[in-house]
Amino acid sequence: MERYTHLPEGDNKTPVIVLQGVSKVYTVGTEKVRALDDVSLTIDPGEFVCVVGRSGSGKSTLLNMMAGLEPPSRGHIRVAGRQIERLPEDKLVEFRLRHVGFVFQSFNLFPTHTALDNVAMPLLYRGVPRGQRNRKAREMLQAVGLLSHKDHKPTEMSGGQQQRVGIARALAGNPEILFADEPTGNLDSNTSREILELIRDICKKRGATLVVVTHDPGMADYADHVIRLLDGKIEEDIRQSGADLPRVPAKEDI
């Protein structure tokens, strides 16, 4: 498997994410904790990127910086053509609604709402009319194999099913970039592979960039681009030919 630390000559893609000299320092009591330390990287459109590192390495902080959820202490961040580190919060909210989707480890579904309503929620915030957003929500539930569960609430679904709803919700607005923070952390190994395969396949079909933060180094074998963090610094930044995920038989109860 060929690996390299830069794009081949002649490849003039414009990166969808660029970080330049990004640092993040938190104040904890009287102590200063450096979560990110002078990080620079580029991510290209359509890449499947894995950010890996053990707990405390800075990987979730890095995702938050790229997603505009937290401002850096120092450095510059450009995402989908916008310089985001100095955008006011209202502009950041609008930017995320238009360009970014999120999948969370804990699913983050509204417990009193159906799967259909959960998937449609981001479109509601964008002002999409009810009929249109419900059509889109049904389309996305069909894409993740859960249209038959459209009227089910989270407590009526398994963990794998809830994560599929989370994926459908994240992709309902056709984001350019999908960020997934430990998306398989609460799932068994077979379901984890199914979920990772599902996210990757849908993003590839839509041409979306996928950034997955994970503590599981095995996931990196299936990515196009691997960023390994250690103590807030990039230890390794490689591009590779992503391998095929092992196929797992579909189950009714996922």
Residue 2, domain member (yes or no): no
Provide the domain count of the chain: 1
What's the pLDDT at 224? 94
Residue 151, domain member (yes or no): yes
* Percent share of the chain, pLDDT over 70: 91
Q: How far does Cα 244 stand from its chain's mean position?
A: 19
Residue in the structure block whose two tokens are 């068994």: 188
Residue 246, domain member (yes or no): no
Instruction: Kindly report, residue by residue over 89-133, the tens digit of the pLDDT.
Output: 999 999 998 899 999 888 899 999 999 999 999 999 889 999 999
If pLDDT is split at 50, 70 and 90, which confidence band does 194 have? confident
Residue 11, domain member (yes or no): no
- Neighbouring residues of 233: CB distance < 8 A, sequence distance ≥ 6: 37, 38, 39, 58
**What is the span of the domain harbouring residue 206?**
17-239
What's the pLDDT at 253? 42
Return the biggest CA–CA distance within the chain: 53
CB 201 within 8 A of CB 193: no
What's the pLDDT at 3? 38
Higher pLDDT, 141 or 241: 141
Residue 4, domain member (yes or no): no
Residue 179 pLDDT exceeds 60 = yes
Residue 71's domain is classified under what CATH number?
3.40.50.300
Residue 84 pLDDT exceeds 50 = yes
Residue 12, domain member (yes or no): no
What's the pLDDT at 6? 38
Average pLDDT over residues 219-244: 90
What's the pLDDT at 10? 40
* Percent share of the chain, pLDDT over 90: 70
What's the pLDDT at 30? 87
What's the pLDDT at 218? 80
What's the pLDDT at 247? 58
Residue 104, domain member (yes or no): yes
DSSP 136-183: HHHHHHHHTT-GGGTT--GGGS-HHHHHHHHHHHHHTT--SEEEEEST
Instruction: Report the relative pairing of strands 177-181 and 209-214 from DSSP bridges.
Output: parallel
What's the pLDDT at 246? 64
